[in-house]
């Protein structure tokens, strides 16, 4: 397998376009054409993880948390994300990231958290905000629709999760009056003409917009093709899960179950004794308090909830169970390692290296 093959495998399970728009998933360092015989998986690229890779080299490191969250203009040695990137490159290791796309994927981090806590009959909630894309619409004679749609697809349009070449087509009448100096493909100059046309609609990532428009214009038969580009948000991945907790569970006893199954200290902000539905969001999920309330859940399991966010949740009748950021992610990160281990000949498990910056004090 190549590094690109491993990334394609991850993308089939958790499409990268489903990641939140702020999330730099995919290949962060390295050459996709290089062979990937030895692949390691970690929760986060910490100093300890980099030291492990330097001591026992790998071709590719797959991390759940991104290393380079923000653009950088230098890679210089030191205790920083850029410094760790420099060390990985020096060690010959490429780096790939599967984060919010893997949170939302079927069988991913959100599902793994719900399963670990015994939550049943789950459904998704909480859009990830993944839609940094556009809709490109053009109007084409029926004879040219297939060629243009195929060309736009090759340029990157029409991708929705595991589906490609997605488009919508509707019939209509286009009206236009060519100037006397125009060279129309059909119709007469200085006369209002009406032509049967197909309205062709395809979505595209913003990064592919220019290439898709170029493909459209190149093959369009009209002297002056008409097309529209719309800002768009849609098809967001759902990063949370809501479902039924184990039968007869109160909020307090469920918080104890969370502590037992995920380990470590768990905080509880108590709002209600009833517990018919429980919502879970791996990582930092306080932004989804309102979405959790809207599902009818009476408790939310997530990490990094602040004092004021917990107070607001209580006012809304929602209990917060906070076992910490990394503990809510760990069941899914183990699943990410298993996904890679099933596909490559030599997998290295670095998920046991704790990424939490906090230590307990006794």
Q: Is residue 248 pLDDT above 80, yes or no?
A: no
Question: Cα dihedral angle (43, 45, 46, 47), rounded to 10 degrees?
Answer: 140
Structure confidence by residue, pLDDT tens digits, 183-212 = 988 888 999 999 999 999 999 988 899 999
18 and 71 together in one domain: yes
pLDDT tens-digit readout, 84-115: 999 999 999 999 999 999 999 999 999 999 99
Please indicate, yes or no, whether residues 89 and 12 belong to a single structural domain of this protein.
yes
Judge if 115 and 259 occupy the same domain: yes
| Contact partners, residue 111, CB within 8 Å, separation at least 6 | 105, 122, 241, 332
Confidence of residue 286 (pLDDT cuts 50, 70, 90): very high
User: Residue 57: inside a domain, yes or no?
Assistant: yes
**In terms of C-beta density within 10 A (0-12 exposed, 13-18 middle, 19 or more buried), how is residue 102 classed?**
buried
Average pLDDT rounded to a whole number, residues 253-274: 90
183 belongs to a structural domain: yes
Residues 113 and 165 in one domain: no
Statement to judge: residues 142 and 121 lie in one domain = no
Predicted confidence at residue 128, as pLDDT, reads 86
- So what's the pLDDT on residue 361? 66
User: pLDDT category, 131, cuts 50, 70, 90?
Assistant: low
Q: Provide mean pLDDT across the span 328-353.
A: 97
Looking up residue 88, the CATH number of its domain turns out to be 3.40.1390.30
Query: Is 286 a domain residue?
Result: yes
Q: Please, which pLDDT band fits residue 215 given cuts at 50, 70 and 90?
A: very high
Last residue of a domain, one of 199, 232, 265: 232
* Residues in contact with 87: Cβ distance below 8 Å, sequence separation at least 6, in sequence order: 50, 54, 77
- Note whether 140 and 114 are same-domain residues: no
The answer to the question of residue 53 being in a domain is yes
Both 12 and 94 in one domain: the answer is: yes
Domain presence at residue 355: no
Residues 150 and 95 in one domain: no
Whether 63 and 77 share a structural domain: yes
Let me know whether 334 and 319 are in one domain: no
Pair 312, 343 in one domain: no
CATH code, domain with 144: 3.30.70.120
Q: How many domains does the chain have?
A: 3
Range with lowest mean pLDDT among 157-161, 220-224, 246-250, 260-264: 246-250
What residue numbers bound the domain in which 289 lies? 104-129+238-328
Domain boundary among 179, 208, 232: 232
User: What's the rounded mean pLDDT across residues 331-351?
Assistant: 97
Would you say residue 214 has pLDDT above 80? yes
Instruction: Tell me the per-residue pLDDT of 169-184, one tens digit each, with 9 for 90 and over.
Output: 999 999 999 998 999 8
Longest CA span, the chain? 88
Asked whether residue 248 is assigned to any structural domain, the reply reads yes
- Please check whether residues 300 and 319 belong to one and the same domain: yes
Indicate whether 359 belongs to any domain: no
Instruction: Please indicate whether residue 348 or residue 159 has the higher confidence score (pLDDT).
Output: 348
Residue 362 lies in a domain: no
Closest among 340, 326, 357, 301 to 43, alpha carbons compared: 326
């Amino acid at each position: 397998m190549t590094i690109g093959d491993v990334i394609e495998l991850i993308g089939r399970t958790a499409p990268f376009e489903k990641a939140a728009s702020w999330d730099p998933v995919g290949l962060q360092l390295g050459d996709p054409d290089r062979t990937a015989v030895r692949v390691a998986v970690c929760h986060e690229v910490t100093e300890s993880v980099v030291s492990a890779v330097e001591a026992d080299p790998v071709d590719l490191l797959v991390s759940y948390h991104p290393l380079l969250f923000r653009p950088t203009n230098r890679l210089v040695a030191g205790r920083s994300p850029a410094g760790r990137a420099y060390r990985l490159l020096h060690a010959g290791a490429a780096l790939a990231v599967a984060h919010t796309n893997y949170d939302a994927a079927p069988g991913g981090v959100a599902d793994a958290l719900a399963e670990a806590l015994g939550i049943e009959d789950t459904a998704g909630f909480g859009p990830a905000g993944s839609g940094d894309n556009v809709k490109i619409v053009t109007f084409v004679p029926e004879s040219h629709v297939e060629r243009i749609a195929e060309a736009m697809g090759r340029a990157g349009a029409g991708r929705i999760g595991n589906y490609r070449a997605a488009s919508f087509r509707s019939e209509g009448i286009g009206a236009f009056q060519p100037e006397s100096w125009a060279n129309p493909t059909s119709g007469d100059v200085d006369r209002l003409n009406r032509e049967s046309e197909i309205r062709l609609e395809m979505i595209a990532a913003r990064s592919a917009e220019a290439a898709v428009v170029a493909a459209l214009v190149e093959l369009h038969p009209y002297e002056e093709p008409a097309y529209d580009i719309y800002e768009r948000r849609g098809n967001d991945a759902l990063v949370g899960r809501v479902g039924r907790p184990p039968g007869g569970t109160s909020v307090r006893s469920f918080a104890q179950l969370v502590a037992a199954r995920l380990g470590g200290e768990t905080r509880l902000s108590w709002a209600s004794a009833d517990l018919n539905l429980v919502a879970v969001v791996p990582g930092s999920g306080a932004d989804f308090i309102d979405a959790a309330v809207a599902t009818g859940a009476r408790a939310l399991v997530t990490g990094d909830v602040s004092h004021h966010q917990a107070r607001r949740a209580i006012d809304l009748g929602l209990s917060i169970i906070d076992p910490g950021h990394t503990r809510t992610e760990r069941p899914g990160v183990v699943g990410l390692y298993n996904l890679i281990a099933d596909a490559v000949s030599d997998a290295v498990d670095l998920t046991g290296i704790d990424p939490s910056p906090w230590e307990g004090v006794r």
